[in-house]
Structures are given as structure tokens and as C-alpha cells.
Structure 1
Amino acid sequence: MRVPVPAVATTVLLALLAGPATAARAAEVTVTSFDGTKINAAFTPAEGLKPGERAPVMLMTHGFGLTRESVEGGLAEFGQVGAPAFRARGYSTLTWDSRGFGRSGGEVGLDSPDVDGRDVSALIDYLAARPDVLLDKPGDPRIGMHGASYGGGIEWATALRDQRVDAIAPAISWVSLTDALARDGRVKLGWGAALVGLGEASGLAVGVLAPQGLELGAMPAALVQHAVESAATGAASPAFTDYLRARGTEDRLEQVRAPALILQGTADTLFTPSQAVKMRALLRPAGVPVKMAWFCGGHGVCLTGNALADRIEPMTLAWMDRWVKRDKTVDTGPGFEWVADDGQARSAADFPLARAGTVAATGSGTLALAPAAAASGLAVLATPSPTAVDIPIPAPRTATDVVGDPQLELRYSGRAAGGPTHVFAQLVDEARGIVVGNQATPVAVVLDGATHTVQTSLEGVAMRMTPSSRYRLQIASDTTMYGVGHAVGSVRILEANLALPAGDAAATKPAAFTLPGTRSTCATPRTITLALGRSRHLADIVVRLGGRTGKRIASRRLAGTRVRFTLKGQAPGRVTVTVTARRRGGGSFTLTRRFLTCARGAVRG
């Protein structure tokens, strides 16, 4: 079976193949993983490494459907630093064909921590036995990890379970495959078809060219079946959602202890900036050193210029020098750097930016639903829709940075037939005639004639708004990024409320973190404040310690936009807090957060 691959997506993914062949001094090795699967790798010593000397090692693997040779070339458009740059810096490199690709055996694991992550642990064991690898102690080599896309996702899968990883720099990676490919139950068909098709093509090519007797990998039959079924219906089945969730890292990311440089693309429509927002939030309670950079690129097309292109390589090398070589004289720069949609690079001490007023919009309108009725967008990017509910966004009085996930609340009614129904929210820059970051967000709606309210976050954006800006919110019936809808009917948007994450870079304070190998210290106040977004329709809030059935530690009748509670007196360790908010019109939503209590009466959140 072969799934058609959109031309744009193919071009984006195959560009990672650029670069020279593996260095001549590389030694090809085969490592046996936990389940007997053979993993093919190449070890190349650092430039100038003399006999008897030891060096730290960078582990690097490839993007989906590619092979280890692809990491020899550097591509700033994808946040990828080439392996030769590390070798010139004094790092040996170990590159490998991920399970199921190239010359490695097994089925593609989608960078599962319990499968692919264990493959990398076997590679680390191999490095620990080499006489030319720097060790912290027996069995513990000094290592960093870097790679883009699939080669970035494996860093999270490895670092959360193997504490021997000293630092990571994942580019255009993810924590939630469900959000990336099946957000809100709607399949991102453009990218889904591209990935499955490329994986199938990769296996076919290697099967034709590989030497006889070499163990080859394969695409899982279940993944291909889920993709085909989703293409036919446009919806993600519960089985598909469970399949993706089981291979994500979101539920375990707080276990990462390696200092992390997060490189994400503002124009990436597969692993959007919202993945990085979630990464930063999940790592914050762990207190590990984190730096984040959003460049214009990734899985997508940059339309506004990538001012950080020349910064990716020195930024990544500096990060590794600081945390792998442990050179305290190295300056890793500000905690957050980004390129806004005006093409300019900016920085702040951390993310999210300190709050700076409100940028909001409100509107209404009626939208017709029909299969392929004036659908906008291309396979892997959103474009302005010719038929949508358009809501102007008032320009701010002064220049304002908008960086993060916009919040949307829709109150609506309508009727439709033909299966699950979604509308799509996107922000349009009228001056440039483009969708901000090329991002569109599916929003599931229930069209049974009754009035409903839905609250959701939109895909992350990086905008620079000025008094002369002209932006608008569009609620569209379809976008080809998510295939063709099947519903026929109409939806009346009674009220749409949009809140943009306006921030003040200068007022943003750096995060407190714990140096690897040192005792945790707590700097956060005992009182915790959680933002609930737009909440004027909420009746009450209940905060519980230890899950939904745990001890009630706070409650309030009339909810504001934030809720406060204290963890004073809790024993040292990790605690789970669940916030349940009940809506006045019925229904509720739940937020779950984990906090690290470092000592009695103190907590870091």
C-alpha cells in the first residue's frame, strides 16, 4: 500500500537529506537493543582526537523516513546543526538509523520512550565501553543529543528515562502526537499522508538497495490502517488517538533532568509552537535549565523571514559546551529568543512573557458547512478563507509582542448532518494577505440546534502588533490541512471572544533552576496561582490535592480568571493538583498540574 504524499510536504521532509556523506573515519557498528532488534550506527571521533584521549559524544539521528547520513548536513530552516560542526568543536558523534528505518531492524516506534528510548540506552551502553569516550563514572558516558523532527522527538523519549543524558537540543519536536496529528478529534490529513507515505517509501527504497541479509525495518500495520481509516472519515478514531497517546512523552516529560535547548519553528504546522509552550510548562516544575528559541521555519514554509538562521548553530554549540563540557564561562544567552511575524528577532529572560495588558476581539456571524465548499489552505499550511466569519482585531495603542497560545471562546448554535463537525480558527494578517504562522486550529462543535459554549487555545503564534496593524480572526468551515469535511448544515456564531497573549519582554524575569547534580532549592512563593482563561461563564471552582477524588484544598463560588491555593506543609516530593471548574450552563472542565515540593512549606511550580 502506498499513501500519496503532498508535494510540499515531501519537499520539506526530503530537504533534510542534504549534506555530505558520512565522514571517512566513521566506524560502522551494530548494537543489539533490549528486544534483540539490531540498531545500525556510525561512530566518528572528534577532530584531532589523539590515541589515548577521550572526548564527549553527541548522539544524533535523522528525520522521519530518512537515514543517519542526513544529519551530516546542517539546515537552519529546520534547526538542524550538522554533525561535522560538533566534531570540529571537540565532540565525537554517534549517528544511527532509528528503529524501522535505514539499516536498522524492527517496526517504526514513533519515538516511543519504552521502545526507541530503550534503543538509545543500548547505544549509550555501547559508548560507555569505548576507550575514547569521556566518562563521568563507569557506565556513564558524557553525552549530549541533538536532532530535528523525529531526531528531536527521540531526545525527550531518551532523557525522560535515562539520566545519563547530560544535555539535549531537540529541534521542531513534539510531546503530544495527538495534538500534532489528531487535535480535537480531527486528523491533520496533509501531514498524516505525508508521513505515512514517506515511511512506506523509505522502507521500499532501502529494501531495494540494501545488501542481502541485512535486517530491515518496517512501518507498523496498525499505524497504516489507522491513517487510511482516518483519511476516509476525516476523524481520529479512539483507537488511533490511543495509539498516538501511548507513544507520546507528555505524561512523563517532568522526569527529564537534562538541560534542554528547545528549538521550535513558528511556521511549523506539524509540530507547532504550542508543542514548545507545553514543553516549557512541563519542564518548569522539574527546575532544569531551559532555553527556548522560536525561528521561522520547521515543517512548513516561512513567509516572513528567519532572522535567527545564523544563530541556531552557535546557540546549540554554546548550550552543549555549557552543559556537556560543563564550561561555566560559556554564555548561553537569554532564556527565550524568537522571530515575530515582522521578521525581526527579539529576546526575553524567559517564557512566557510577563503580562502586558489585553489584546482582544469580539464578534459574531453565520457560517455555512458543506464538503469542500470554498475550502482554503494547502496540504501543509493555512491560507485566508474566502468564506468565513471575519472578526477584526483592534490594534493596540503601542507596539506589543504577542507570543504564545491565543485563547478562544465560542458561543454558538446550529444544525448539521454528516458526521463529526469542526470549524477552524485562524489569525489573518491583512497587510500581508497571509495566515499568521500558517496555523489553523480545529474546534469541535455540536450542532444539534441547542446553544453551546466551547473554550480552547489556538495554535501558538509570534506576532508584533503595532497601532497600524490590521489583523482579523477567521472562523472557517474547512481547510485542506485537515482534509475535506463531511458535514452539511450551518453554524451561527452568537459570540466569539478572542484573547491574545500580549507580553512585556523587558519585565520578564529569568526562571530559577536547579543545576544538575545539586540539591534542589525552592524560590517560588508558597501560594500558587493558576490562570483559567476567559471564565465569566463559570459558576464555581474546586481545587483538590491528589486528583479529582483527593483532598479539597480550595474552592470559590464565583470564579475570576485565576485561582489561588497553597501547598504549605506538604511533605517533600511531587504532588498532583486538580482544578475543576463548573460552567453555569452545565458541564465542566479540568486542569491538572504537578508541583515539586522541595521542603516543608516550600514549593516550586
Structure 2
Amino acid sequence: MSRRSPFRARRLTALALSPLAAVGALGALGTGTAGSASAAVAPAAVAPAAVAPAASTELGAVDTYTGLEFTVPAGRDDLGRPQTCTIDADLYKPRTASSSARVATILTTNGFGGSKDDQAGLGRAFAARGYTVLSYTGLGFPDSGCKISLDDPGVDGVAASSLVTFLGGGGSAPYASAQVGGTTQGAGSLHVDWTVLDDAATHDPRLGMLGGSYGGQIQFATAATDRRVDTLVPLITWNDLRYSLAPNNTSLTRGVTYANSNPGTQKIGWTGLFFGVGILDGIQGAAIDPKRNVGCPNFVLEACRAKATLDTLGHPTSDTYELTDRVSVAHYVDDVKVPTFLIQGENDTLFNLQESVATYKSLKSRGVPVTMAWQSWGHSGGSNGRTGAAPGELDLTGQHIEDTYLGLRIKNWFDHHLKGSSVTTGPGFAYFRDWVGYTGSASPAYASASSYPVGTRRSWYLSAADELVGAKSQIQPGSRSWSNPGLGAPASYSEVSGLEGQIPLPDGLKTPYDTPGTFGAWSTAPLASAVDVVGSPTLDVRFESPAVAATQAIGPSGQLQVFAKLYDIAPDGSKTLVHKLISPVRVADVTQPVHIELPAIVHRVEAGHRLQLALASTDAAYKNAYALQPVTVRASPTAPATLSIPVVP
């Protein structure tokens, strides 16, 4: 019943990389009982029940119901009119579940550009382990109706709440076909009366959510909107979409949220891919809901306006913030109060590790139970050509959950929070180390700590002769100057968003580079011993640019743009830009010191290698300045520019 996007099949859309996800939307608090499934059915009078821990890992038989159709309220359309949306879903039920043998539930939806099919393996796997799983295709993707609203609380959240009600026995829905007891049967109607209920009167099931990327963010939104959600496991998702699509790694007011007056720089590759995939899904889903392609094609009008603003100016405006703030957990995190297991990808130029740090710190500061793991993979392609999880890390088909490090942790998390099991949920913080060899489960490659951050910080200082020195007394005075080409032309290259590791690339697009005269760089001496970097490097520096000082008062277009990054240089001179991560910076006032927070990394710099800090004037993955911006950085013993690196023993 689902149409599979060729983008999704070839995994060219890194936004849709996650084959699992969860539902919801962000925004206003609610009771979570506003919506219900298509045809209301009176719930059975069932008192709240405890869930016994699983007695063994023996897998049970699963019944499946495919092509469930829900017609649910979903807020308002672009014209402010109340709307209903059609949702396509599949349900996976433990065969032994019944009104006298009730089970907990897991709700999941697709990543961007995906469908319910992407969760089929996990749905069967968790149903075999004693959970009812409902996987649905999110709004705006085949074969569900309405437009893509970017996990809006008033649209996607209202729709998700109806599905929670259904899982709590509050409605019924027609399905296209089913496999029950090993027998194929035709169309019918399904009413759920076998889930554990925390409150029968409000159709409140014992419910957790699992998913990544677009489906990961919507978990926060659902939990903030619907108090019936009990726990979350979001993977590789965003904290603040303004930072994700137009980052500025300075002027941060909290987490990764930067000041409105000092906007970021558009990620032209990612935003273009994002809209291309959404429009393609709109074309494929035209028969389901023709209105999806009226006006702004398959996106709410605000999204098209935001894209036009970014394409024209290269940075967001206050109108854009109204949209991104509404659909980002950074701006409603106080309403998220359920245990959360954050999983973020080290190899991710779309939603980098700093996004998970921002959410982690916000939840932890308010006493919300939260743990965080940094896995090897994210939205970006691997430098070794591998895409997706490392061996033994996470089996996204669901066939070997207990045999993988994260698979077992996710299962234990749900068993603990939904079944009442005493099984441990793992360390407060864990991170994958790609320099550690292992066989089988990836557990040996993961280091653990009680919380984040870890280790200590080590400082280097910018010195003349393009050096990074380890003591202020070693700083030699001097300067380095460069300029951008102007007219928006790029002179540095870091990545092709979402395509690396997915398709063969020309040699010129495989290796990052900087054009002489358009960047400054400073390097350490060869390291005497290996240095393990875990966390976010920072740079405190002054820029000198009389030309920019004379234009910056006109606004963002007149402000200095810089792209900071760290290279690992091998003894043979070859350079590695770790996971292709860079830090775009738009300097609010070039006459003042600047504090830059680079994206977090997990990386071992081997003995004999050198660390190099590069400050480039442009990058091909971003919108660049049109005016010429000559700039100088001085090495000064009395006012040193300082690079701080988080290291662990």
C-alpha cells in the first residue's frame, strides 16, 4: 500500500536515514485526550495494571494488521481552517496479548521522506518481545494526508494524540488486511483492548516512543503535548532547527540557540535536499490528498517562505524564527518531563552532537531522568565508505536486538520504564570510539561515564609562523591575513550534504580543501602521545577587519563570516577533517573578542600527528558573503587567541 520513494530506497536523503521514528508534535500542554481514532468505541472497564518483567528472552509469535486508516483532527491548515488528516498505519501485536494478558505499547513513525514500512522490522521485533507497536506514516508522506508541518504541535501533535487514544482503547480503525494466528484474512476493523492502561477513563496506555531524525523530534513534541506518553528514545534529531539549517557557532544564548540579532548561515546543501525530498513525496501522494500540492508544494506556507528567505538572504529572519522556534524542543523543553534516552550520531553534519548536548543539559537541569549515547553513525556518510551503524552497534531490522550494544540498551530502557523490570538502563553517558577494535557486540568500543561532559580541557595558543603552542610563554607575536573571493563564491570545501557514503563522488569532492589566501591555519608540533578528544572544542579569538567594521551596522549581510574547523594531520602530510564537521560563524561585532564553540567530536589524534586549526572565509556547503571581507588574526602574548580542547585519559 505504501509507495517507496527512490530517494528513500537509495538512502540519498540523510534526513530520512533513520528507519525508525516516533510520533507527535511540539507545543502547548494538553491532556492528550483531544483526538480519537476514526470510529469511537466504548472502552472496557479496565483498572490500571502493573506490567511484569519479562521472564526470558524467548520470542513470541506476532499478529500484524496492515493498512489501518485513521481520520484524525490535525489542527488548522494554511488558511486557518480546521482540518482532518488521513493516516496510514500498521499494528504489530503479540499473539498472546489479550484483555487478561495486557502489554505495553510503542509508537513510531518515519524519518523525513520515509513511511511506516521503515519500522516493519522493529515493529515485529518488539512485538515478539512483548510490546504492541503501532507504526504510521507521518503527515505529508505517502500514504498519509495533509502537508508537512515540521512536527508542529498544533498539527502533527494533535494527530499523534489521536493514535495514543486508539492504543488506549478509545477508538477503532479499519484495516486492509491482517495476518492473525498464521492465517491471512481480509479487511476488517480493529479495536485495541489488550494494552496496559494507566487510566482507562482517559484511554491512557503504558506507552513509549522510539525513532530518529524527523521521528525523533516529534517524540519531544508529543510528550510536551500529551501527558500520557511515558518515555522517549529519540535518535539523531535536532534541538533547535534554526541552528540545524542555518548555524551560528557564536552568540549562543542557551544550548545551540543563538541571538535573534546575530543569525546563522544557510546550509544550502541540506536545505535544498530537505525541500526536494518533501516535494517529491507530495507528488507521490497526490492521489491520497491532492491539497498537499496546492500553494506551497507539500509544505505549510511558512516553510516555503522560510526557504525563500534563506535562499535570498542566506540567513533566517524573525519570521523564520517563528516557525523554527515552534517546531524545536529548545523552545518548549520545560514541558518535556518523561525519562529520555538521547542517542546522537558522531558522523552527522545535519544534526551534530551539540544538539543532543543542548537537550541533555536542559532536561538534566530540571531533574528529568535523561541518559545520552553518542553512536558512530548519523545523517552523513562514513569516511570509510560505510553508512549506518557500526557492526554490533544497532540492528535496524530488529533481528538481533540483544546482540547489539544500542539494541540491548533500547530494549532494557523500555523494559525498565514500561514493563517495570529492574534491568539496568546503562550509563548516564556513553560514546563510540572508532579506534577500538572488537568482534560481536560494539560494547567494547563504547566508553562510559556517569554524566557529560567528561575529561579535562587542554589549551593551545595561536603563535606566529602558523603555530599552536602549549604555553603562553611560547607565543611569538605575528599575524595572518586572508580574504574571501566575494560574490558568494566558495574557496573552501568540506562536504556534499547527505551524499557522501551514498553514491560515488568525483575525486575533487572526496577530500576537504582550502584555497591559499582565503584562510588562516595554525598547527601543533607532532604530538608526543595520542590525544583522545571527546566533546566540543572552543576558540577565543579577535578578528581585525576595518572593511567589515564599516559595514556591520547594516546587519547580517555586512557582518564577518568565518568557518572554523579542526584537521588531524598525519606524518605524511595527509589531512582529516573529522566527520567533515565545521563551525560557521557570523560575527556580530568584529571589534570585540569572539567565542566560538565548535561541534563536539570523538576522535583520537595519534602520536606523531598534528592538530591544525583552520579559519576559512567560505565553505561550499553554505551561503557565503558577497562583499569582500579581508581579515587579520594576530598572535599576541598579552592577549592570546586560545584553542581549548576537551580530552580524556
Taking structure 2 as the reference length, the TM-score comes to 0.69
Alignment-derived partner of residue 385 in structure 1 = 514
| Kept in 2: contact 1:290–1:335 (CA 8 A) | yes
1:442 to 562, 584, 599: 584
Does 1:30 pair with 2:70? yes
Where in structure 2 are the equivalents of 1:190-209 lying within 5 Å? 190-208=269-287
Does 1:154 pair with 2:194? no
Alignment-derived partner of residue 561 in structure 2 = 422
1:274 is paired with a residue of what secondary structure? helix
Does 1:332 pair with 2:380? no
Does 1:40 pair with 2:87? yes
Alignment-derived partner of residue 119 in structure 1 = 159
2:225 is paired with a residue of what secondary structure? coil
Rate the CA distance shift 1:413–1:466 in 2: closer, same or farther, 3 A.
same
Rate the CA distance shift 1:18–1:333 in 2: closer, same or farther, 3 A.
closer
2:111 is paired with a residue of what secondary structure? coil
| Kept in 1: contact 2:102–2:196 (CA 8 A) | yes
Rate the CA distance shift 1:266–1:16 in 2: closer, same or farther, 3 A.
closer
Rate the CA distance shift 1:452–1:116 in 2: closer, same or farther, 3 A.
same
Rate the CA distance shift 1:215–1:204 in 2: closer, same or farther, 3 A.
closer
Cα separation, 1, equivalents of 2:168 and 2:409 = 27
| Kept in 2: contact 1:148–1:172 (CA 8 A) | yes
Kindly provide the CA deviation profile for residues 287-321 of structure 1, in whole angstroms up to 9, marking residues without a partner as x.
23322111121111122673634322222112111
| Kept in 2: contact 1:31–1:123 (CA 8 A) | no
Kindly provide the CA deviation profile for residues 4-36 of structure 1, in whole angstroms up to 9, marking residues without a partner as x.
x999983534655799xx985336030413534
Does 1:291 pair with 2:291? no
Does 1:60 pair with 2:108? yes
Alignment-derived partner of residue 617 in structure 2 = 477
Shift of 1:228: 2.8
1:488 is paired with a residue of what secondary structure? coil
Does 1:346 pair with 2:428? no
Rate the CA distance shift 1:390–1:10 in 2: closer, same or farther, 3 A.
same
Question: Once the two structures are aligned, what percentage of the paired residues are identical?
Answer: 27
Shift of 1:90: 1.2
Alignment-derived partner of residue 165 in structure 1 = 229
Rate the CA distance shift 1:446–1:160 in 2: closer, same or farther, 3 A.
closer
| Kept in 2: contact 1:356–1:503 (CA 8 A) | yes
Alignment-derived partner of residue 372 in structure 1 = 489
Does 1:264 pair with 2:351? no
Does 1:320 pair with 2:403? no
Cα separation, 2, equivalents of 1:375 and 1:357 = 29
Alignment-derived partner of residue 598 in structure 1 = none
| Kept in 2: contact 1:419–1:486 (CA 8 A) | no
Does 1:358 pair with 2:455? no
1:135 to 188, 192, 197: 197
| Kept in 1: contact 2:541–2:642 (CA 8 A) | yes
Shift of 1:484: 4.0
Cα separation, 1, equivalents of 2:194 and 2:94 = 13
Kindly provide the CA deviation profile for residues 511-542 of structure 1, in whole angstroms up to 9, marking residues without a partner as x.
xxxxxxxxxxxxxxxxxxxxxxxxxxxxxxxx
Alignment-derived partner of residue 10 in structure 1 = 12
Rate the CA distance shift 1:319–1:403 in 2: closer, same or farther, 3 A.
same
AA matched with 2:483: A
Cα separation, 2, equivalents of 1:313 and 1:333 = 12
| Kept in 1: contact 2:325–2:331 (CA 8 A) | no
Cα separation, 1, equivalents of 2:418 and 2:223 = 14
Rate the CA distance shift 1:311–1:135 in 2: closer, same or farther, 3 A.
same
Where in structure 2 are the equivalents of 1:164-563 lying within 5 Å? 164-184=228-248, 185-208=264-287, 210=288, 218-303=298-383, 306=390, 308-309=393-394, 310-328=404-422, 330-340=423-433, 342=435, 345-363=445-463, 365-370=480-485, 371-380=488-497, 383-387=512-516, 388-393=519-524, 399-414=530-545, 415-416=547-548, 419-431=558-570, 433-445=575-587, 451-495=591-635, 496-503=641-648
**Computing the radius of gyration over CA atoms, which structure comes out larger, 1 or 2?**
2
Cα separation, 1, equivalents of 2:431 and 2:95 = 35
Q: Which segment drifts farther, 339-348 or 198-207? A: 339-348
| Kept in 2: contact 1:40–1:104 (CA 8 A) | yes
Kindly provide the CA deviation profile for residues 339-358 of structure 1, in whole angstroms up to 9, marking residues without a partner as x.
23536623222332444252
Cα separation, 2, equivalents of 1:271 and 1:159 = 21
5+ residue gaps, structure 2: 1-6, 22-61, 76-82, 170-191, 249-263, 395-403, 438-444, 464-478, 499-510, 552-556, 636-640
| Kept in 2: contact 1:110–1:247 (CA 8 A) | yes
1:110 to 144, 150, 159: 150
Cα separation, 2, equivalents of 1:11 and 1:43 = 23
1:225 is paired with a residue of what secondary structure? helix
AA matched with 1:385: D
5+ residue gaps, structure 1: 74-81, 505-605
Alignment-derived partner of residue 186 in structure 2 = none
1:92 is paired with a residue of what secondary structure? strand
AA matched with 1:38: C
Shift of 1:466: 4.6
Taking structure 1 as the reference length, the TM-score comes to 0.73
| Kept in 1: contact 2:495–2:580 (CA 8 A) | no
Rate the CA distance shift 1:368–1:341 in 2: closer, same or farther, 3 A.
farther
Rate the CA distance shift 1:368–1:311 in 2: closer, same or farther, 3 A.
same
AA matched with 1:435: L
| Kept in 2: contact 1:177–1:248 (CA 8 A) | yes
Rate the CA distance shift 1:291–1:466 in 2: closer, same or farther, 3 A.
same
Where in structure 2 are the equivalents of 1:563-602 lying within 5 Å? none
Structure ranking higher on relative contact order (CA contacts 8 Å, 6+ apart): 2
2:208 to 144, 147, 158: 144
Shift of 1:445: 2.8
| Kept in 2: contact 1:384–1:428 (CA 8 A) | no
Kindly provide the CA deviation profile for residues 465-523 of structure 1, in whole angstroms up to 9, marking residues without a partner as x.
4543322111111112213432313111225421112245xxxxxxxxxxxxxxxxxxx
Kindly provide the CA deviation profile for residues 312-345 of structure 1, in whole angstroms up to 9, marking residues without a partner as x.
22221121111111201x1222222212353662
| Kept in 1: contact 2:18–2:211 (CA 8 A) | no
Alignment-derived partner of residue 89 in structure 1 = 129
Shift of 1:366: 1.4
Shift of 1:438: 1.4
Cα separation, 2, equivalents of 1:474 and 1:171 = 30
AA matched with 2:196: L
Aligned length: 486
Q: Which segment drifts farther, 420-429 or 33-42? A: 33-42
1:480 is paired with a residue of what secondary structure? coil
Rate the CA distance shift 1:346–1:12 in 2: closer, same or farther, 3 A.
same
2:543 is paired with a residue of what secondary structure? strand
AA matched with 1:494: R
Cα separation, 2, equivalents of 1:16 and 1:352 = 25
